[in-house]
């Protein structure tokens, strides 16, 4: 089997170990004579998959016992609308920290339901840094504070967790969930599209403090109310059943390799290796973000010209490395190094970068 090193920003590479289990169980899940694809989401067998997935996530992230865990369809972009729909009224204010394209979209949706205070922004600096705590201008009456922990397009990541001054902190962790240890109890809500670090596209993970959940507005359509999905254990309607099963397999892999401590160690190795290659290239490869805000998940860089960048991407693909083209809105090169990308992938890329520099 000839597998490429996949540096795509999402959907992204998955652990080969998880894919092998999925392959082996695809036609006949644990002797049931059917695939998880065919299984009733109301069956005891599927209920066991769902509960196992929740238990594994709880273990790896250290989620408090009373927190709600949901697996919903629609992607993180759906949560951009559901959060203010459920928690923000027309006469209320929510604080948003604007650090990139995804936080801007979340802000746009929130403005449909209430007042938005942009408590901090790096937009004037072309999203090349993360605002410091001292730069945040939080509202005294905010009903929540929203942040995006990692910014896939621009290559920045929060190096600290903001102090929300006693207000509920909501975090979009779509692109760095499970990449490092966190204190979940600091957050009122965490949500993450699965397709970067935790599973395939099509399911969103939601972790919510019950005290915050209790503040939801009433009178919403059932399907759009978090309380419905909490009450029905993510089974109000048919869930993305197979995607949840795949999350279980990814979480099993995380557990087997040593948990988040080992994941974080590997990610630091990859980050240090790649940025070291960029910084030591004599300016041939130019990082695009401030060093203190560099992402451990998505590294962005430029070469001397767009033509050279196109040549780099094409040559890398020929060498078995795909997904390195920067986002269409910013161009350049983007290296996504999520959990499932092995250290060997960065080693190969760094070697390729040195060779490409010599030849070009």
Query: pLDDT tens-digit profile of 289-317?
Result: 999 999 999 999 999 999 999 999 999 99
Q: Look over the chain and give the mean of its residue pLDDT values, rounded to a whole number.
A: 98
Please confirm, yes or no, whether 196 is among the known catalytic residues: yes
pLDDT at 1 over 90: no
Q: What is the C-alpha to C-alpha distance for residues 306 and 255, in angstroms, rounded to an integer?
A: 42
Domain boundary among 221, 237, 256: 256
Percentage of residues in the chain having pLDDT higher than 90: 99
CATH number reported for the structural domain that contains residue 233 in this entry? 3.40.640.10
Active-site annotation holder among 54, 102, 253, 325: 102
Q: Is the pLDDT confidence value at 254 over 90?
A: yes
Kindly write down the DSSP assignment for every residue of 95-119, as one continuous string.
Answer: EEEE-SHHHHHHHHHHTTTSEEEEE
Helix locations, the chain, DSSP H: 16-25, 44-61, 75-87, 101-110, 210-213, 226-231, 241-257, 259-279, 306-318, 343-359
Is 270 in the active site?
no
Judgement on whether residues 333 and 226 belong to the same structural domain of the protein: no
Q: What is the pLDDT of residue 108?
A: 99
pLDDT one-digit tens code per residue, 167-180: 999 999 999 999 99
pTM here is: 0.97
Domain of 296 in residue numbering reads as 259-359
Is the domain of 126 the same as that of 184?
A: yes
The domain spanning residue 308 has which CATH number?
3.90.1150.10
Residues 216 and 121 in one domain: yes
In a domain, 153, yes or no: yes
Confidence of residue 2 (pLDDT cuts 50, 70, 90): confident
pLDDT at 91: 98
Same domain assignment for residues 232 and 283 = no
109 in a domain, yes or no? yes
Q: Is residue 4 part of a domain?
A: no
237 inside domain: yes
CB distance 7 to 324 below 8 Å:
yes
Structural domain total, the chain: 2
Question: What integer pLDDT is reported at residue 195 of this predicted model?
Answer: 96
* Mean pLDDT calculated for residue range 250-275: 98
Reply yes or no on whether 292 is catalytic.
no
pLDDT given at position 205: 99
Query: Once rounded to an integer, what is the mean pLDDT over residues 63-76?
Result: 97
pLDDT value at position 355?
Answer: 98
Asked if residue 38 belongs to a domain, the reply is yes
User: Among the three residues 225, 256, 287, which one is the final residue of a domain in this structure?
Assistant: 256
Distance between CA atoms of 346 and 166, rounded to whole angstroms?
40
Task: Quickly state the pLDDT bin for 121 (edges 50, 70, 90).
Answer: very high
Residues 275 and 150 in one domain: no
The answer to whether position 285 is within a domain reads yes
Mean pLDDT of 151-163: 98
Please check whether residues 113 and 160 belong to one and the same domain.
yes
**249 and 180 assigned to the same domain:** yes
Q: Is residue 3 a part of any domain in this protein? A: no
Residues 225 and 267 in one domain: no
| Residue 110 shares a structural domain with residue 157 | yes
Q: What are the Cα distances from residue 132, in Å, to 8, 97, 99, 139, 263?
A: 29, 11, 11, 16, 26
3-class DSSP state of 292: helix
Same domain, 202 and 324: no
- Considering the domain architecture, whether residues 100 and 161 belong to the same structural domain is answered as yes
Q: How confident is the model at residue 29 (pLDDT cuts 50, 70, 90)?
A: very high
Does residue 131 sit within a domain? Answer: yes
Asked if the model's pLDDT at residue 204 lies above 90, the reply is yes
| Residues 218 and 267 grouped into a single domain | no
- Of 54, 172, 253, 270, which residue is the catalytic one? 172
- Catalytic residue, candidates 54, 167, 196, 325: 196
Last residue of a domain, one of 237, 256, 275: 256
pLDDT band at 90; cut points 50, 70, 90: very high
């Amino acid at each position: 089997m000839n597998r490429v090193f996949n540096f795509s920003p999402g959907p992204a590479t998955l652990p080969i170990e998880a894919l092998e289990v999925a392959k082996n169980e695809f036609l006949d899940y644990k002797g049931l004579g059917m695939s998880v694809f065919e299984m009733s989401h109301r069956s005891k067998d599927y209920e066991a998959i769902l509960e196992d997935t929740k238990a594994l996530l709880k273990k790896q992230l250290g989620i408090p016992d009373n927190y709600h865990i949901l697996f919903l369809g629609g992607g993180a972009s759906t949560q951009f609308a559901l959060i203010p729909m459920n928690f923000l009224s027309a006469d209320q204010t929510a604080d948003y920290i604007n650090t990139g394209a995804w936080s801007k979209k979340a802000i746009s949706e929130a403005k449909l339901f209430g007042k938005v205070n942009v408590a901090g922004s790096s937009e004037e600096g072309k999203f090349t840094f993360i605002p410091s705590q001292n730069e945040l201008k939080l509202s005294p009456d905010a009903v929540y504070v929203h942040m995006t922990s990692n910014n896939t397009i621009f290559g920045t990541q929060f190096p600290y967790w903001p102090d929300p001054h006693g207000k509920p902190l909501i975090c979009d962790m779509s692109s760095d969930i499970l990449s490092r240890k966190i204190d979940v109890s600091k957050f009122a809500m965490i949500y993450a599209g699965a397709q970067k670090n935790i599973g395939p596209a099509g399911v969103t993970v939601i972790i919510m403090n019950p005290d915050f959940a209790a503040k939801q507005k009433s009178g919403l359509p059932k399907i759009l109310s978090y309380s419905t999905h909490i009450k029905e254990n993510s089974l109000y309607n048919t869930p993305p059943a197979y995607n949840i099963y795949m999350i279980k397999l990814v979480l099993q892999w995380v557990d087997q390799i040593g948990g988040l401590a080992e994941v974080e160690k590997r990610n630091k190795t990859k980050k240090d290796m790649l940025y070291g290659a960029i910084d030591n290239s004599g300016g041939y490869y130019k990082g695009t973000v401030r060093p203190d805000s560099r992402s451990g998940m998505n590294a962005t860089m430029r070469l001397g010209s767009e033509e050279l960048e196109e040549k780099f991407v094409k040559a890398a693909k020929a060498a078995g490395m795909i997904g390195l083209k920067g986002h269409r809105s910013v161009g350049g090169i983007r290296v996504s190094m999520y959990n499932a990308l092995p250290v060997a992938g960065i080693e190969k890329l760094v070697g390729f970068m040195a060779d490409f520099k010599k030849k070009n």
